Amino acid sequence: MRRAWILMLAMACVFTAQRVLAQYPPLAGNQPVPIMPYAGPNRPPPGPSAMQAPFGMLPNPQPMRLPPLMHVRIAGPKGMKVTLFRGEPAGKTFDAPAVVGFRPGYAYRMMLSDIPGLPGVAFFPTIEARGSLLLGSPLNGADYPATIVFSPDDLTSVEQGTLLTRLVVLERPDIAIPRDTTAENPIELSVAPQVNLWAEANDRGKPLVSIHLGQRKATTEELVASAIPGTILFPGEKNLAMPAAGPQIPFACWPVLDPILGPENANNFVKIPDGGDIGTPAGIDRRTGRIVGLDSTDTVAKYTDSKGREKLAVSNRVGVCVPRYILLRHETVLALQGTRLAPGAARVAHGFAEMNARKGISEADQRIALEQAGSKLRPSGAENVVLTSVTGKVQNLRVTAQLKGPAAVDVSCPPPQTPEPADRPLLIIKWPDKRGANIGDMVTFTLKYANQGGQPITNIVVTDSLATRFAYVAGSTRTDREATFTVTPNEAGSSTLRWEFPGSLLPGESGLITFQVRVR
C-alpha cells in the first residue's frame, strides 16, 4: 500500500512539472524552457530552491537560447533625463542620450523628465521590442543601436493632445532611400493617418521597435509593477540576468520560414551587397559595343580575346554589414478623432489550404520497342585478306593461294606539333577592407583582374555600379597601370565607376584597382 502511494505521488509530480514546462513556449529552438512566472513587486522572484524538482522526477533543464538584445539610443533635448524600470523598488535615471539593451518580446514603460521648456512635465512612453539584429561573430549588436529622438516639437504636440506612434524599421538595402544620414539622426518619414503603419513598415524592411507616446501619466508604483527583471541592460552594464517571465508580445528575431520557399535570408537586411551580376543579366550590345543590363551593385569587365571577340567577365559578390534604421511616424489628433460605421464587404481567405497546394507537371511517356531486333541467323565465318590472293573451290574443296607474300613496310611519323595556347576568360575578384562598418565610415574596395589564359587580352574596361548606400569618395581611386577613369550617376542614386585600360594584358599578368566609398 505504501509503495502504491509513493508511485501515485511520483506520477503527480511528473504531470505537474510537465504542465509547468508547457506554460511558456520556447524562445528559440525546439525544447521548452522552464521560466518561472514573475512574482511582482510584493512577491520577490523565487530562489534556487523553487527551480529544483523532486529527485529523479525531472531531467536537468535545457540551457535557454535567448534572442540577442535590441539596443536603442534614447535621445532628446539637452538636459533631458531618462528613467528606466526593471523590477527594483525604484527606477534608475540616466542623462540623454542613453543606449539601452531591450529583450525582444517585452513591453517597457519609461519616464522622460527635466525637459527644457516644459518644467515639471513628465512623459511616459511605451516601447515594444519586436525584434533584434542577427549578426555573426565578431560583430556585436551593441555597435549598431537604433536611435529614437524625442524632439521638443514632439513633446509639445503630445502635451496638446496628440498620440504619437513611431516604428523603428531595419531598412532593406536594395530599396534604401538615396539620402545621406548619420546614426544619431536617422531618416524619419511621416505616414498619413489613413495608411496602415505596419504595412508600410513591412514594405520598407523589418519593424523592430514600436514607440507609443500620449498624455497618459503613470505613478512610480505602476512603473515598477509593470517592469520585469532580466529584460533591460542599463548603460555601462555587460551582463544581464535571466528574464523572470516569458515573452509578452510576439517577436521575430529569426528568419521567417516560408512553407514553400524555405527560410528567408537575413543577410538581405543587415548587409549591403555589392559586386556580381544580379537582376537583368549584363551583356554587350553588338551594334554599339556598350554594356547593357548593368544594375545597381553590378561589377563587370569587358575585354577582347586573341580572336578579336568581345566578351564579358563578372566579379564575385561581397557584402558589408552596415544596418540602417528609418523611423516611420504616425500622429493621431485625439480631439478631432471620429468614427464612422459602414457595411463592409465579405472576404474569404483560404490560408494554408491554398499556400500548400502543389500541382506537379503531367507527363505522358510512350515507349516503342523493336520487335525484330533478334535474329536466328549467325555469321558462318570471317576472312581477312592480306595482299592479293585467289580463292576457288574444286569438288567442295576450297583452295586459297597468294600471288605475293608480304614485304617490309616503311613508316615515317610527322614531327610533334606544340598546341597553341588557349584563350581563357578574364578573372575579376572584388573584396572590401572590413566586414562591418557604421554609417559615415569609409570602406575601401579592391578589384583584381588577371589573364589566366595563354593569349593576350586587350581593351579591358572595368565597370562598377555602386549600391544606393555607398557614395564614392572623389579622388580616392588608384590603379597600378595607366587607365582612363570616369564617374557617372546610376539609377540607384549613387555612381557608376568606369576604368578603361589601353594596351594588352599578357598571359599571367594582373592589375589592381582600389577606391573608397562612404557609407550613407
User: What tens digit of pLDDT does each residue of 109-124 get?
Assistant: 999 999 998 888 999 9
Break the chain into its structural domains and give their ranges. Answer: 2-51, 70-256+324-334, 272-322+422-519
The answer, yes or no, to whether residue 12 has pLDDT greater than 50, is no
The answer, yes or no, to whether residue 467 has pLDDT greater than 90, is yes
pTM above 0.85, yes or no: no
229-233, 344-348, 349-353, 373-377: range with lowest mean pLDDT = 349-353
d(CA 325, CA 185): 10
DSSP state for residue 436 in the 8-state scheme: B
d(CA 463, CA 397): 86
Q: In whole numbers, what is the pLDDT of the chain averaged over residues? A: 77
> pLDDT confidence of 386, banded at 50, 70, 90?
low
> pLDDT confidence of 507, banded at 50, 70, 90?
very high
Q: Which residues neighbour 328 within 8 Å (Cβ) at sequence distance 6 or greater?
A: 166, 167, 169, 188, 189, 191, 197, 200, 201, 204
What DSSP string runs through 44-63?
PPP-GGGGPPPTTTSPPPPP
Phi first, then psi, for residue 480 (nearest 5°) are -90, 5
> pLDDT confidence of 99, banded at 50, 70, 90?
very high
Give pLDDT, residue 104.
93
Region 435-461: mean pLDDT is 94
Distances (CA, A) of 510 to 273, 300, 321, 415, 465: 25, 16, 29, 35, 22
| Nearest C-alpha neighbor of 104 from the set 129, 80, 124, 125 | 129
> pLDDT confidence of 42, banded at 50, 70, 90?
very low
Give pLDDT, residue 273.
84
The answer, yes or no, to whether residue 91 has pLDDT greater than 80, is yes
> pLDDT confidence of 239, banded at 50, 70, 90?
confident
The answer, yes or no, to whether residue 7 has pLDDT greater than 60, is no
Termini Cα distance of the chain: 77
262 sits in which H/E element:
strand 262-263
Residue % of the chain over a pLDDT of 70: 69
d(CA 506, CA 450): 9
pLDDT, greater one: 160 or 7: 160
Give pLDDT, residue 268.
60
Tell me the pLDDT tens digit for each residue of 156-207.
889 888 999 999 999 988 889 999 888 888 999 999 988 999 999 999 999 9
Whose cell is 507616446? That residue is 213
Strands 187-190 and 325-333: parallel
CA-based radius of gyration for the chain: 37
Region 481-490: mean pLDDT is 95
87-101, 239-253, 426-440, 456-470: range with lowest mean pLDDT = 239-253
> pLDDT confidence of 275, banded at 50, 70, 90?
very high
316, three cell numbers: 564575385
Give pLDDT, residue 419.
82
Distances (CA, A) of 442 to 141, 158, 411, 490, 512: 20, 39, 72, 20, 19
> pLDDT confidence of 13, banded at 50, 70, 90?
very low
Give pLDDT, residue 50.
36
Tell me the pLDDT tens digit for each residue of 294-343.
999 999 999 999 999 999 999 999 988 888 999 999 998 765 444 444 44
The answer, yes or no, to whether residue 251 has pLDDT greater than 70, is yes
Give pLDDT, residue 414.
74
Phi first, then psi, for residue 159 (nearest 5°) are -65, -25
CATH topology of domain 272-322+422-519: Immunoglobulin-like (2.60.40)
pLDDT, greater one: 96 or 261: 96
CB 170 within 8 A of CB 208: yes
> pLDDT confidence of 450, banded at 50, 70, 90?
very high
